[in-house]
Every structure is written in structure tokens, then in C-alpha cells.
């Protein structure tokens, strides 16, 4: 796993300085040349830019947020990671599609994405932000995995904590996120969008540990961070005692 370091930003990142500090690039530029057209289109989605304490300070395109040149200047955005378990307490994994611009072909948790600058996905207080990421999670579970919203009710999501991490993808692209961790138990029908997801698999904790030993399998950095820190402890408490891990107020720094 790559060692990440924090970078001091000479000028505070505010709504007024974002566009000057992080000038956007055209979608037809070299940074996106040769990539899948649908994935290029999705790079124009508008993410929520935050300060180090997860306070929204502006918005920026998904493309701008994921360029390492901007990440290295300190650009930080809000994200979420869903861990969906069935009634056997097996976790649904996905393998990201080859078409993905960041971290293609890697195995990861059920769904990882971003709340957008939409009325029901934003929030400045933690309760509002949690509600926003739950709405975003339901939207993206449908988009990526064909899991209909009625199969994953809003009230069934459990918020655990937030992690702040930074990870490069290929030198040009990467992640720098405040990532909200959401658990949910459900038994949905899965109909993966092959432009997003090339494979899915239900796994036990023991099976996942075996997968990590297989050098032919690659995993996203945020998933590895979560697994190496708290996932298996949380998983063991899924039906008894998870409450002591939910609604954590402090951000876990994993830089």
C-alpha cells in the first residue's frame, strides 16, 4: 500500500478560491483521451468540496477532484462507501469495470461513490450530511448494481464513521476524500451495469481474508484501509453490538 503524505496549501481553499487554485480542464483534453465515453461524461458530475473538517466550502467537477495535480494541492471532496450484507452476513463485493477511469479492474466493497451537489445529497451539519450520503448511496446502488431503492430503504442504512484518506491511482488520477462508511443488511436482486461493474461476489469474512492472500487480485486503497483497520471487528458485531461503532463523530485520519 502506498504511503501518502499531506501537503500544505499556501492559500485557504474557499468557495471563492477553488476555481483559481484548481483550474478545470476541458473534457476533450489529454487527461481523458482514450477513455470510455460514458465514464468521461460522468466526470462532469459536481462533487462537494470540503475543508479538512468536512465542512462544505464549494463544488467542483468529479474530473477536477480526481486529478492528482489538484489533489496534491489539497483539494478534498466528500464520498461514501457502502457495505451491503445479506441474511447470511456475507458481504457483496464488486470488481470495478475496465472502463473506469480511476482504479479499473480492482475489487472493492459494494458501492463507492460521491454525494453530488443536489438538494437531497448535500449537508453542512453531520446529521444532514449523513442523510445526504444515504440518498446518494441509494441512487448509486441502482446505477451501478441495479439494486432498486425499495430494496435498500433509507432507514436501514447505518452510519459508522468517516475516514480521511489520500491515494493515487495511476499517477494522473487519484482520490482524496472524506469517506462516509455505511452498513446495510438486505437481500437485493443484483443486475450490474457492466460499464461500472464487471463482476460481483458474496463473501464471508474468511473468504475475503483468503482473497487478500491472492496476489492476482487487486483491491482499491480505501477498501484495504477499511479492512486493515476496523472492518472485520465491525463485521463480527453486525447482529450484536454494532451500535457501539455507529454514529462516530470524529473523522479517522488515515493519511
Which positions are catalytic?
112, 177
Q: If DSSP codes are grouped into helix, strand and coil, which group holds residue 183?
A: strand
Closest CA to 236 of 215, 218, 209: 209
Torsion sign (Cα): 249, 233, 138, 27: positive
- What are the backbone angles phi and psi of residue 220, rounded to the nearest 5°? -65, 150
DSSP letters along the chain, please?
Answer: -PPP-----SS---TTTHHHHS----TTSGGGTTS-HHHHHHTTSEEEEE-TTS-EEEEEEHHHHHBHHHHTTT--EEEEEEEEE-TT-PEEEEEE-TT-SSSTT-EESSEEE--BSSTTT--SSHHHHHHHHHHHHHHHHHHHH---GGGS-GGG-EEEEEEEEEEESSSSBEEEEEEEEEEEE--------TTTEEEEEEE-HHHHHHHHT-TT--B-HHHHHHIIIIIHHHHHTTTTTGGGGSS--SEEEE-
Amino acid at each position: 500500500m502506498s504511503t501518502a503524505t499531506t501537503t500544505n496549501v499556501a492559500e485557504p481553499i474557499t468557495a471563492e478560491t477553488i476555481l483559481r487554485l484548481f483550474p478545470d480542464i476541458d473534457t476533450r483534453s489529454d487527461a481523458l483521451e482514450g477513455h470510455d465515453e460514458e465514464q468521461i461524461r460522468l466526470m462532469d458530475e459536481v462533487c462537494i468540496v470540503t475543508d479538512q473538517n468536512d465542512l462544505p466550502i464549494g463544488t467542483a467537477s468529479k474530473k477536477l477532484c480526481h486529478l492528482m495535480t489538484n489533489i496534491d494541492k489539497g483539494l478534498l471532496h466528500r464520498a461514501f462507501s457502502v457495505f451491503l450484507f445479506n441474511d447470511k452476513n456475507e458481504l457483496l463485493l464488486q470488481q470495478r469495470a475496465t472502463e473506469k477511469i480511476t482504479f479499473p479492474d480492482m475489487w472493492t466493497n459494494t458501492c463507492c461513490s460521491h454525494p453530488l451537489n443536489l438538494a437531497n445529497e448535500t449537508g453542512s451539519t453531520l446529521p444532514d450530511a449523513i442523510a445526504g450520503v444515504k440518498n446518494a448511496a441509494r441512487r448509486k446502488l441502482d446505477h451501478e448494481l441495479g439494486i432498486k431503492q425499495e430494496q435498500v430503504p433509507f432507514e436501514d442504512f447505518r452510519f459508522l464513521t468517516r475516514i480521511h484518506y489520500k491515494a493515487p491511482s495511476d499517477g494522473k488520477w487519484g482520490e482524496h476524500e472524506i469517506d462516509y462508511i455505511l452498513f446495510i443488511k438486505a437481500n437485493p436482486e443484483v443486475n450490474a451495469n457492466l460499464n461500472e461493474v464487471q463482476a460481483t461476489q458474496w463473501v464471508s469474512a474468511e473468504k475475503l481474508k483468503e482473497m487478500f492472500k491472492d496476489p492476482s487480485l487487486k483491491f482499491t486503497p480505501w477498501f484495504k484501509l477499511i479492512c486493515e483497520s476496523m472492518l472485520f471487528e465491525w463485521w463480527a458485531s453486525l447482529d450484536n453490538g454494532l451500535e457501539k461503532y455507529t454514529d462516530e463523530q470524529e473523522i479517522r485520519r488515515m493519511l
